Amino acid sequence: MAAARTTQTSPFLLSLVSISLLLLQAISVVDCNKDQDSNDATDFIRTNCNATLYPDVCYSSLSRYANTIQQSPAKLARVAVAVSLSRARRIAAYITNLSRQPNSAAFDTETAAVLKDCSSTFGDAIDQMRRSNTEMIHLDLTSHSQESLRFQMSNVQTWMSAALTNEDTCTDEFGDLPDESVKSDVCERVVYGRKLTSNALAMVNRFVAATEADAPATTP
C-alpha cells in the first residue's frame, strides 16, 4: 500500500505571498489616502461655498477642481476667478455674435443697440477679470511682504467688484425691452456669469480675511 504523500510549501513561495499581501495593503492605504484627500478637498470647497450668495452654483463650478484646490484658500480664490473669467469670455463671444448680426425678426433695432452696449460693457468686465486672474497667478505668498500682498489683493477686490458692476449694467440695459427670446436667453447667460463673479469675489474676500487673520501682530 502506497504511503500518503505530504506536500510542503516552499519558503520562497511563502515569501512571495507575504510580499504580495504587503503590496496589496500598501496600495489599499494609498488609495484610501487619495479618497480621503479628495473628500477633504470637496468638503473644504463646500464649506466655503456655503458662505456665498449662490452656494449651489459655487460648488458645482468649483468641485471639479478639488485636486488642484485641495484645502488652500489662495488656490480656491485663484480657481474661482479663473472660472469666472472663462465663463465671461464665452458669454461675451455669444453676445458679440448676436450684436453683429443684421437686424432680423429675431430682434428689433433697439434690442440690437442694447446688445452692442452689453457687448462693450462685458468687454470691460472681462478686462477687469483678466487683470485679477493675472494678479492671482503671480501671487507669491512665500516671498511677498504683507504690504505687497495687501496691495495685490486690494487690486483684485477692486477689479472683481467693478466686473460685477459691469455685468449688472448689462442686464439692467434689457430692463425696458419687451420680453422676447433674445432678451431672456442673453439675460439667463449673463445672470449665471454674474453669479460666478459674485462667488469669485466672495472667495477673494475670504482669502483676504484669512490672510489678515494669519498676519503677525504689529507692535505700536
pLDDT-based confidence at residue 107 (cuts at 50, 70, 90): low
* Cα–Cα distance, 171 to 89 (Å, whole number): 16
Please state, for a pLDDT cut of 90, what percent of the chain lies above it.
Answer: 50
* Domain 49-214 in this protein, CATH class: mainly alpha
Cβ(167)–Cβ(123) below 8 Å = no
Q: Cα–Cα distances in Å, from 154 out to 122, 184, 195?
A: 22, 35, 21
Average pLDDT, rounded, for the chain: 81
Q: For 190-211, how does the pLDDT look when each residue is reduced to its tens digit (9 = 90+)?
A: 999 999 999 999 999 999 998 8
SS3 190: helix
Confidence label for 130 from pLDDT (cuts 50, 70 and 90): very high
Mean pLDDT, to the nearest integer, of 28-47?
A: 71
Q: How many CB atoms lie within 10 A of CB 16?
A: 11
**51-88 pLDDT, tens per residue?**
999 999 999 999 999 999 999 999 999 999 999 999 99
Q: pLDDT value at position 6?
A: 47
Written in H, E and C, the secondary structure of 69-91 is HCCCHHHHHHHHHHHHHHHHHHH
- Residues 194/197/203/206 CA torsion (nearest 10 deg): -80
Q: Which residues contact 42 (CB under 8 A, 6 or more apart)?
A: 63, 66
Q: What is the C-alpha to C-alpha distance for residues 125 and 120, in angstroms, rounded to an integer? A: 9
Q: Where are the domains of the chain?
A: 49-214
d(CA 184, CA 174): 9
The three-class DSSP label of residue 43 is: helix
Q: Which of 94, 160, 151 is closest to 133 using CA atoms?
A: 160
Task: Please name which of 91, 73, 60 lies closest in space to residue 163, comparing C-alpha atoms.
Answer: 91
Confidence band of 35 (pLDDT split at 50, 70, 90) = low
Q: Give 69 or 100, the one with higher predicted confidence.
A: 69
Residue pLDDT, tens place only, 147-194: 888 889 999 999 999 999 999 998 888 777 776 777 888 889 999 999
Where residue 36 falls among pLDDT bands split at 50, 70, 90? Answer: low
